[in-house]
Structure 1
Amino acid sequence: MALLHRAELRPSKLDLLATWLPGRPWFAGAAGADVTRVASYRFDDPAGEVGIETLLVRAGDGPVLQVPLTYRGAPLDGADEWLVGTMEHSALGSRWVYDACADPIYPPALAAAVLAGAGQAEEYFEVDGVRDVRPPSMTVTGGRAHGVEPPAVGAPREVVDGEPTLIRADHVELAVVRRPAPGAAPSEAALTGAWPGQPTPLVLAYAR
């Protein structure tokens, strides 16, 4: 489960992305356009230390873009090139925001969804000791590698930033679809998602 905070963020996540996205090789849309949120989903960090959130956004009238992010309370060593930016969280203090594809906490979570059918984390606020669950803004469905035991997946050995973005870890290569579009999944081990305005599930990630 993902504990959320009713907090103010400076700058906001979307403001960070408006600056960062145009420099990505898979970006589509007008540079300088407002970035709007379409939907989002989260995975759990077993240690409860790192936020793992995937945003689906648009830049102006461009297509939907998938942006997995991690939120950390301290800089991640050796990951400067994957830093999206920093923001001040009114409840948690300074937060370092990274492209999750290069964060060691993300591949195991993504692999659990793609290879073993794990779903998204339930999101909730805690008010006076009572959990207030937030309804998901989209539905994601994990895949499964039929006939084989899903391998243990660790930190990425290599990340190739493109469309799709490839995460090469021991035993598996994961592909994150940056511009989800209709079409068949390249693999039976895939993560799909649907959201209001997009009732037909689209492929979000898969194993190669």
Structure 2
Amino acid sequence: MALIHRATLSPTKLELLASWLPGRGWNPGTEGEVTWVAAFRFDDPAGAVGIETALVRVGDGPVLQVPLTYRDAPLAGADEWLLGTSEHSVLGTRWCYDAIGDPVYAAALADAILRGTGQAEQFVDVDGRLERREPAMAVAVEPPGTADAPEAGPVERAADGDPAIVVTPTVELAVRRRLDTTDRLTGALLTGAWPGQGTPVPLASATVR
């Protein structure tokens, strides 16, 4: 379960992304405003890290996939993956990371694909009452996951790119950045569909090592 607070962020997620995206090699360099297309979340079993995958567009450019993690303290050794900090009106200072460099994301993505846990149900805290939020997009796995799939374990290597690659002792993960390409992913797939994109698109893959 992902708990969403009714809160303000300063700077906002889009403002952080607008500052960060121009330095990415996989960003086509389209000029214009960064707009939110859709998003989905995973659960952190420990309940400490927010895990959200954002689909955004710059101007009239392609849809870009940016997995994000939100933490209440810096992640040791992960400065190269930091987008910045933001002040959350309920939770205080949040450190926002490109999740490719966050081991909590790697574990959640591996579980979502290989074990079929999928995206998290989202609930909004409204005056102390939890209200379910309908997902902004649909995600699925091909083939269906199994409960006996291996856990990801510690991250051995994480590399930005398109696709971004995360390697652990048991699994290799690949995450597409630009969703307008025909690049193929191998292994079990996470696919997604969102308003305006009814046909599921491969988002990420997991291959047992």
Q: CA deviation at 1:76?
A: 0.5
Structure 2 counterpart of 1:22: 22
Give, in whole Å, the separation in 2 of the partners of 1:120 and 1:40.
Answer: 10
Structure 1 counterpart of 2:115: 116
Q: CA deviation at 1:185?
A: 5.4
Give, in whole Å, the separation in 2 of the partners of 1:182 and 1:203.
Answer: 10
Structure 2 counterpart of 1:192: 191
Could you list the per-position Cα deviations for residues 117-148 of structure 1 after superposition, in whole angstroms to 9, with x for gaps in the alignment?
22100111123443211111100002347899
Structure 2 counterpart of 1:45: 44
Could you list the per-position Cα deviations for residues 12-48 of structure 1 after superposition, in whole angstroms to 9, with x for gaps in the alignment?
00000001011111112425x2110000000000011
Matches within 5 A, 1:56-205: 56-144=55-143, 149-181=148-180, 183=182, 186-205=185-204
Structure 2 counterpart of 1:2: 2
User: How many percent identity over aligned positions?
Assistant: 57
Alignment size in residue pairs: 207
Give, in whole Å, the separation in 1 of the partners of 2:140 and 2:146.
Answer: 19
Using structure 1 for the length normalisation, give the TM-score. 0.93
Give, in whole Å, the separation in 2 of the partners of 1:149 and 1:170.
Answer: 16
- Secondary structure at the aligned position of 1:186 is classed as coil
Q: Which runs of 5+ in 2 are unaligned?
A: none
Change (3 A) 1:60 1:29: farther
Give, in whole Å, the separation in 1 of the partners of 2:127 and 2:84.
Answer: 32
- Secondary structure at the aligned position of 2:5 is classed as coil
AA aligned to 2:40 is Y
Could you list the per-position Cα deviations for residues 161-197 of structure 1 after superposition, in whole angstroms to 9, with x for gaps in the alignment?
1110000111211000111237585335110000000
